[in-house]
């Protein structure tokens, strides 16, 4: 029997607002425990929430970027459960009228992943187990989150990972979240069930909670698929349960049975008036959404003739793509600029976080100037690489590096003239070459390079010299 997996995703994304959702405390990650706290986010009696408008707008932007309908009338609801990291014993979330509904995200093969809803809510604090005690840090309590819920449209772990990568790219591009899985600003719950291929019925699902890296997502789904098919093939039932993923053993573990559904006692939060969005609000937010990665990749491939892999990598980081766009202005062949970014700059700026932040030592105009010198054949590729290395080290423009090296770029190199001169002034080498000493050609190329102070294109010179030597 062939089995098919059915997966739906709930992704939690922390919004990059400066202050928390209901108070003016900082949302910054880290900090001493309970240093970003106030009466509101620690649930002191009498404290009241004040809804951060920016958090609402960011949620709407996420919805617009993910092709959602935006509810003009929305509201915040209280979701009750008791846990020490939840200071009010309820989480303010959205129940029946979330801000965004009915969206979708397209995977590379053209497959649509339908998005059921995007809701705005608050994060909880964190428990710290120390010396047999449970301590609570409320720094994270009240950080605004959005939960993006998909339909059960995924059929493989690869699809899930592609979706998450695309989602991360989109949300970073619109600037509403840094989406750092390692800091928990993007984390997801996977709902997975298994059924016979071709069946239209859904199997019993398990929920794997709080996965915080793409590779864990992939591994957890694959493990859970094998586990559930194993059960079904052995004629055993799959239970509805909540699982956690143990990254060391690579297994999913039971957290709690989920046989009777939790009763969260949702009701509208009486302290927060309904959220009303006007046509103008939505129009203004739509205008705030920059070109999304998908469109940008397409543009780079069709207009700039970049290989798709290069375009995808550049568009993974919005700031890199912005840098590339600036560096490409007026270039005949932007792919050359892309390759400088992807090779030399990426090896210098190597971590995910650093690329995301893209603290480039040079402005994009310097890279453009360098590529222009190449396009005008004033320098060759090797020299360009060396100059670029120095530019990145010293943060200087290509011209000032060349000047410091005593290389002038004012005159255009006449490669034919240089090659002719090399042949005429080195009869010995010509003689050797004609006797079959192929190495002698290197000496002639070396001469051309010296004459041009390293700016000539060695490959071009080789071709011209070979022609001259035939005569």
Q: Is residue 150 exposed (0-12), middle (13-18) or buried (19+ Cβ within 10 Å)?
A: buried
Output the smallest distance, CB 86 to other proteins, in A: 9
Instruction: Specify whether the CB–CB gap between 159 and 111 falls below 8 A.
Output: yes
Residue from 31, 230, 250, 273 that binds other proteins (CB under 8 A)? 273
Q: Which is nearer to other proteins, 42 or 312 (CB)?
A: 42
Residue from 100, 101, 136, 402 that binds other proteins (CB under 8 A)? 136
Question: What's the Cα-to-Cα distance from 361 to each of 54, 340, 367, 394, rounded to whole Å?
Answer: 32, 14, 11, 8
Residues 6+ apart with CB under 8 A from 114: 102, 103, 104, 150, 151, 153
Instruction: Specify whether the CB–CB gap between 456 and 413 falls below 8 A.
Output: yes
Q: Is residue 201 exposed (0-12), middle (13-18) or buried (19+ Cβ within 10 Å)?
A: exposed
> Does 128 participate in binding other proteins (rule CB under 8 A)?
no
Q: Which is nearer to other proteins, 24 or 182 (CB)?
A: 24
> Does 197 participate in binding other proteins (rule CB under 8 A)?
no
> Does 270 participate in binding other proteins (rule CB under 8 A)?
yes
Q: How far apart are CA 148 and CA 119, in angstroms?
A: 7
> Does 277 participate in binding other proteins (rule CB under 8 A)?
no
Q: Which of 337, 351, 338, 331 is closest to 310 using CA atoms? A: 338
> Does 63 participate in binding other proteins (rule CB under 8 A)?
no
First to last CA, the chain: 74
> Does 271 participate in binding other proteins (rule CB under 8 A)?
yes
> Does 267 participate in binding other proteins (rule CB under 8 A)?
yes
Phi and psi at residue 171, to the nearest 5° = -70, -35
Q: Which is nearer to other proteins, 96 or 471 (CB)?
A: 96
Residue from 48, 276, 353, 466 that binds other proteins (CB under 8 A)? 48
> Does 126 participate in binding other proteins (rule CB under 8 A)?
no
In 143-200, alpha helices (H): 157-173
> Does 17 participate in binding other proteins (rule CB under 8 A)?
no
> Does 263 participate in binding other proteins (rule CB under 8 A)?
yes
Residue from 11, 19, 27, 42 that binds other proteins (CB under 8 A)? 42
Q: Which is nearer to other proteins, 129 or 439 (CB)?
A: 129
> Does 49 participate in binding other proteins (rule CB under 8 A)?
yes
Q: Which of 56, 11, 102 is closest to 285 using CA atoms? A: 56
Residues 85-104 that bind other proteins (CB under 8 A): 87-90
Residue from 3, 10, 43, 397 that binds other proteins (CB under 8 A)? 43
What are the residues binding other proteins (CB under 8 A)? 38-40, 42-51, 78, 80, 82, 84, 87-90, 134, 136, 263, 265-267, 270-273
């Amino acid at each position: 029997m062939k089995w098919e997996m059915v997966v739906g995703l709930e992704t939690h994304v922390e919004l990059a607002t400066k202050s928390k959702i209901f108070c003016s405390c900082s949302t910054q990650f880290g900090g001493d425990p309970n240093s970003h706290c106030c009466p509101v986010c620690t649930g002191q009696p009498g404290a009241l929430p004040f809804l951060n408008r920016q958090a609402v707008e960011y949620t709407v932007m996420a919805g617009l970027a993910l092709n959602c309908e935006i509810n003009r009338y929305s509201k915040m609801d209280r979701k009750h459960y008791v846990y020490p990291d939840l200071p009010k014993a309820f989480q303010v979330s959205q129940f029946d009228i979330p801000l965004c509904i009915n969206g979708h995200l397209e995977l590379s093969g053209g497959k649509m992943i339908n998005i059921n809803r995007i809701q705005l809510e608050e994060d909880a604090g964190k428990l710290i187990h120390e010396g047999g005690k449970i301590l609570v840090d409320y720094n994270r309590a009240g950080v605004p989150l959005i939960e993006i819920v998909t339909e059960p449209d995924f059929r493989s772990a690869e699809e899930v990972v592609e979706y998450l990568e695309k989602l991360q790219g989109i949300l970073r591009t619109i600037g509403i979240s840094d989406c750092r899985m390692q800091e928990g600003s993007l984390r997801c719950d996977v709902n997975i069930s298994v059924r016979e291929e071709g069946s239209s019925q859904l199997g019993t699902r398990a929920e794997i909670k709080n996965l915080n890296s793409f590779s864990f997502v992939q591994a957890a789904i694959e493990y859970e698929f094998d586990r559930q098919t194993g059960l079904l093939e052995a004629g055993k039932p799959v239970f509805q349960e909540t699982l956690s993923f143990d990254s060391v053993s690579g297994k999913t573990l039971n957290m709690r049975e989920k046989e009777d559904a939790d009763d969260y006692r949702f009701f509208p939060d009486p302290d927060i008036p309904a959220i009303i969005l006007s046509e103008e609000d939505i129009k203004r937010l739509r205008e705030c959404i920059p070109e999304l990665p998908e469109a940008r990749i397409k543009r780079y491939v069709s207009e700039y003739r970049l290989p798709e892999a290069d375009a995808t990598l550049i568009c993974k980081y919005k700031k890199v793509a912005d840098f590339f766009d600036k560096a490409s202005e007026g270039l005949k062949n932007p792919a050359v600029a892309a390759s400088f970014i992807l090779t030399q700059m990426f090896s210098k700026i190597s971590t995910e976080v650093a690329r995301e932040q893209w603290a480039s030592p040079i402005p994009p105009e310097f890279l453009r100037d360098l590529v222009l010198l190449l396009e005008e054949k004033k320098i060759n590729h090797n020299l360009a690489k060396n100059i670029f290395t120095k530019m990145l080290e010293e943060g200087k423009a290509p011209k000032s590096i060349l000047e410091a090296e005593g290389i002038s770029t004012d005159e255009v190199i006449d490669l034919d003239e240089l090659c002719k001169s090399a042949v005429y002034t080195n009869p010995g080498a010509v003689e050797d070459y004609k006797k079959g000493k192929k190495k002698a050609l290197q000496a002639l190329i070396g001469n051309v390079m010296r004459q041009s102070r390293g700016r000539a294109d060695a490959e071009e010179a080789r071709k011209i010299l070979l022609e001259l030597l035939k005569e």
